[in-house]
Each structure stands twice: as C-alpha cells, then as structure tokens.
Amino acid sequence: MTSTVGPPSYYENLGFQPANVYSDKKPVGANLYPQHFSPNAPSVPNYVPRVATHHSSRPVARSSGITCTSSAKKTIAIILSILLVICGAIAAFLIWYFVENDPCGSLIECGSSGECVQPSEWCDGVSDCSNGEDETRCVRLFGPNFILEVYSPVSKSWYPVCQDDWNDDYGKTACKDMGYSVDTYYYSQGVATEVSYKSYMKVNTSAGNIDLYQKLYSSDSCASGNVVSLRCIACGLSTKSVKVMNRIVGGSGAALGQWPWQVSLHVQGTHVCGGSIITHQWIVTAAHCVEGQLSDPNSWRVYAGILNQNEMLLQNGYRVQKIISHPDYDTDSKDYDIALMKLQTVLSFSDTVQPICLPNPGMMFQSNQQCWISGWGAEISGGKTSNTLNYAMVRLIENSVCNSLNVYSGMILPTMVCAGYLSGGIDSCQGDSGGPLVTNKSSVWWLVGDTSWGTGCASPNRPGVYGNVTVFTDWIYKNMQV
C-alpha cells in the first residue's frame, strides 16, 4: 500500500527481509512498453518478482593431472551403463505410474469412455465426450444469492432448480461437480425468486436410485415458488468489521481476522506476492507472480492467518502441489493475469483463516463501488515491502475512463478492472501483486480482482489495475474439477 505520489516505477517485488539486511536501492524506472502500443501510451511495468538466488561459494577442484588406466576406464564405463539402465527403468516406472493414476493430466476425464477433453470444452453446448458427460453435469451458482442453475444441453440454456423435493444430498452432489470438497458443504435452502422464471429444473422423486442429473427434468411450474440457493463453502465471512471512513490516507494496519483470506507467498524465505484463499486447498494469485523459474511449485511456501512477516520467518508455511497459470496469459500486456495454486495439505479454517467468495455469473459491480485492497506491499514507490499487513479503501473506475488518453490510453482489456483514485494518493504497490481486491455485497465479501499492474504507485491518473475475477470464475471452477 502506498500514499506517496512519486515518479513511475515498476511493481518490482523487492521482497520482505529483516530490516538489517536491506541496502539502499533507488526506485526502478518504468520500462518502455513494446511498440505495438501507441508510443504516447503510458509504460507498463514488468511485474516478474525478483528473488535473490544464492550461488555456491565452494572452490572448484583443480585437475590432479593423473590419467586413468585402461581397466579403470572400462570399469567406469560399465558403472555408467548400469546407472543409465537403472535411471531409465525408474523414469519408465514414474511415467507409467503418473499416466495410470492421472491419465488426463490437466484435461478432464469424460468418465465411462475414458476420453479426455479440454476444460474449455466442458459445458459449452457441444458434446465432446462420446457419451455426452461433458454436457450433462453442468451446474453453476448465479448472482449474489447463490442461485443454483443447471444447464440443459437440449435448449442450450441455464435454468434455476426448483426447491420442491430438493435436499442436502443433492446439494452436496452439485457442489462436488463444481470442484468443491463435500467436507466444505454449507447449506441448500429455498429463496423467493427476484425475477419471473418461465422454466425450472425439478427433481423427479419417482425416478429411483439414479444419477441426480438423470432425475432432473424441465418444468414450467414450481409449486413452492422458491428456487435453490446453494452454498458450497462458508466464504466471504470476516470476523472483524471494516471501519469505513470518507477517506483513508494511504494504508492502515490490519487487525487479525479482518482479511482472513489474505495469504503471503514466499520464495526462499522472502515475501514475493499475495494471494487469496478460495477453498481449503486452492489459492488465487496473479500469473505474473509465477512466471519462468517461479513456476516450480517446490519454490513456494504459503502463509495464512499471520499479520507480520517476521512471524512467518519462524514457521514452515504450506507447500504447493501444483501451479496453474491461465493458458491465455500474456506477459507483455498482462492479459489474463491470473493463476491458481493447489496446496499439498489442506488449510484449517478458523477465525483468522477463511475463504473469500468467487463472484457468481450475473453479478455486476458498479463504477465508484467501494472496494478494499490488502497486502504487504511497499508504502512508498520503489520502497521495501512492509512487515505488517496493510489495507486501504479504493473505488472501482470504469474501464472507459481508465482507457482514456490521459490515463492508460487503451491498455485496459476486458480481463482487467481499474480501482483507485485518479487524483492518486492510495494504491497497491510492489509486493501487493496477486493479492485481493474485494467488496462487500449482500453481507458477503467477494473477490473482485487480483492485483496485477500499474505505472508507479499512487501517481495521479495511474490507478491500480487488477485481474477481473468475474471473467475467470468458469476457468477456476473447471480447474478445481480436474
């Protein structure tokens, strides 16, 4: 977080370290953007986190000058040959093991046929599986009331599910098909419809003990008049209220439990980026945080429920099992700047560790709407990251305004959202990358964006730019299903 207006700089992640190991460092100047954009357009910073690597200081042994005898050479050749055979056998076993246990890899398995299809082909109205499984188990949650909708491959439309004869067992099945663990199931309940629906999906209770989706049928009526509101996880619940003021100058120190979905992502004991908890095992962050060498899951540790970086240095953190960057992510424009981390072990939820809600289709976030950003980012442009978690209130800015000539001149794409103040003074900064942009609607906290980029920190006409999570919810669910 920053409140200082200064020269443009990268959101270069300098990383948190104890104060005594910092050396003076001048702010990094903004880099010129590739020329396929207007030369008069503002430059976009390069957000690739920079983490110091430690080189070995061991001396290199000099050649002894002793030559190997002929028999020694033969022995070495035999040993090497045996080692190569053993390594080949191990590699073949590993390939067989992983293919057998995960035949589809990053694809989705059809089921009965064993075929594998792309996540983007699931629930797209076209049957890509031989038996049509990719179009028969399509569910989603709609709007701020979490209305359960089921997709009909016949009419190629989404319909709400009538509450008549619905129960929690059906709810758990629907949640599992969206990628949630049954253990996180929250509730199903009937709610009055805010709009007049012409068709519903209803449960045929006389259909016997068959698959849920085979029990569902289309109907023009719903006797109860209520549709199913389904909560697959108790998300968006903060135990601490946010003190709303007319204006927050810079960042304020967060209280424990105020932003329980916020995590710190470390490499080599250094804070590099932020992230947001969405389930017991999944974290949302920015794709630019995990580019290149930082795409290795073994490099990362995740810390949750802790306010101070100093405390994290004394703990082990959570290991990362898998990193999935959006396949359309563009390193230059920061288009599709979103990634998922799957943890090796599940998070234990508490008052200080909680998931944030993913925005449902049909949700509209208005221009000038109050949102909050949080993170351990620098408090001045080009400065070092903070030891304590800070937060600030910002307001959403229309993309058309953000794309005006005197702001970002056409560089804001549909996968992005702007938030901040054109007057400057409050903004995300280096070290905040990947962290949450959230808002409160219908008494629930929603993840609006992930911190992506900006020119400088808190400069006039240079608000923060965030990945538009509303655009990415389908992609997130499909990868959770895999």
One domain for residues 284 and 428: yes
Q: Which of 229, 428, 433, 459 is catalytic?
A: 433
Burial per residue of 123-146, b for 16 or more beta-carbon CB atoms within 10 angstroms, e otherwise: bbeebbbeeebbbbbbbbbbbbbb
One domain for residues 246 and 305: yes
pLDDT value at residue 132 = 67
Which residues on adjacent β-strands are paired with residue 157?
152
The percent of residues in the chain predicted with pLDDT above 90, rounded, is 55
Residue 69 resides in a domain: no
Whether the per-residue pLDDT at 40 is higher than 70: the answer is no
Cβ(390)–Cβ(378) below 8 Å: no
One domain for residues 320 and 413: yes
DSSP state letter for 138: -
> Where does the pLDDT of residue 171 fall: very low under 50, low under 70, confident under 90, or very high at 90 and above?
very high
One domain for residues 227 and 246: no
Full domain range(s) for residue 290: 240-481
Cβ(306)–Cβ(318) below 8 Å: no
Element (H, E) at 274: strand 270-277
Nearest-angstrom CA–CA distance, 324 and 384: 28
One domain for residues 173 and 274: no
Whether the per-residue pLDDT at 383 is higher than 90: the answer is no
Nearest-angstrom CA–CA distance, 370 and 393: 7
pLDDT value at residue 396 = 98
Least Cα distance to 322 among 295, 347, 346 occurs for 295
Known catalytic membership, residue 36: no
Residue 58 resides in a domain: no
> Could you tell me the two tokens for 469?
């999570």
Alpha-carbon separation of residue 268 from 52, 299, 403, 415 (angstroms): 8, 7, 38, 31
One domain for residues 210 and 253: no
> Where does the pLDDT of residue 86 fall: very low under 50, low under 70, confident under 90, or very high at 90 and above?
confident
Contacts of 442 (CB under 8 A, 6+ apart): 144, 145
Residue 463 resides in a domain: yes
One domain for residues 156 and 244: no
One domain for residues 142 and 202: yes
The percent of residues in the chain predicted with pLDDT above 70, rounded, is 76
Known catalytic membership, residue 288: yes
Number of folded domains in the chain? 2
Q: Which of 134, 164, 335, 337 is catalytic?
A: 337
Selection from 34-43, 171-180, 215-224, 295-304 with the highest mean pLDDT? 295-304
pLDDT value at residue 364 = 86
Residue 424 resides in a domain: yes
Residue 9 resides in a domain: no
Residue 87 resides in a domain: no
What SS3 state is found at 187? strand
Q: pLDDT (tens digit, 9 = 90+) per residue, 122-168?
A: 676 677 787 666 666 688 999 999 999 998 877 778 999 999 999 99
One domain for residues 195 and 248: no
What SS3 state is found at 229? strand
Which residue, of 231, 255, 280, is where some domain finishes?
231
> Where does the pLDDT of residue 106 fall: very low under 50, low under 70, confident under 90, or very high at 90 and above?
low
Whether the per-residue pLDDT at 42 is higher than 70: the answer is no
Whether the per-residue pLDDT at 59 is higher than 50: the answer is no
Which residue, of 231, 258, 282, is where some domain finishes?
231
Cβ(160)–Cβ(201) below 8 Å: yes
CATH code of the domain in which 474 resides: 2.40.10.10
One domain for residues 160 and 277: no
Nearest-angstrom CA–CA distance, 84 and 73: 16
Known catalytic membership, residue 335: no
One domain for residues 277 and 170: no
- The four Cα atoms 302, 304, 308, 311 give a dihedral, to 10 degrees, of -70
What SS3 state is found at 464? strand
Nearest-angstrom CA–CA distance, 169 and 181: 13
Residue 174 resides in a domain: yes
CATH code of the domain in which 206 resides: 3.10.250.10
Nearest-angstrom CA–CA distance, 13 and 47: 7
pLDDT value at residue 68 = 42
Q: pLDDT (tens digit, 9 = 90+) per residue, 306-340?
A: 999 999 999 999 999 999 999 999 999 999 999 99
pLDDT value at residue 63 = 28
227-248 average pLDDT score: 73
Residue 210 resides in a domain: yes
> Where does the pLDDT of residue 57 fall: very low under 50, low under 70, confident under 90, or very high at 90 and above?
very low
pLDDT value at residue 6 = 39
Mean pLDDT, all residues of the chain: 81
Which residue, of 181, 206, 231, is where some domain finishes?
231
Say how many C-beta atoms besides its own lie within 10 A of residue 167's C-beta. Answer: 10
CA atoms within 13 A on the CB side of 289: 33
Pairwise pLDDT comparison (118 vs 355), residue with the higher score: 355
Cβ(51)–Cβ(268) below 8 Å: yes
One domain for residues 350 and 257: yes
Whether the per-residue pLDDT at 48 is higher than 80: the answer is no
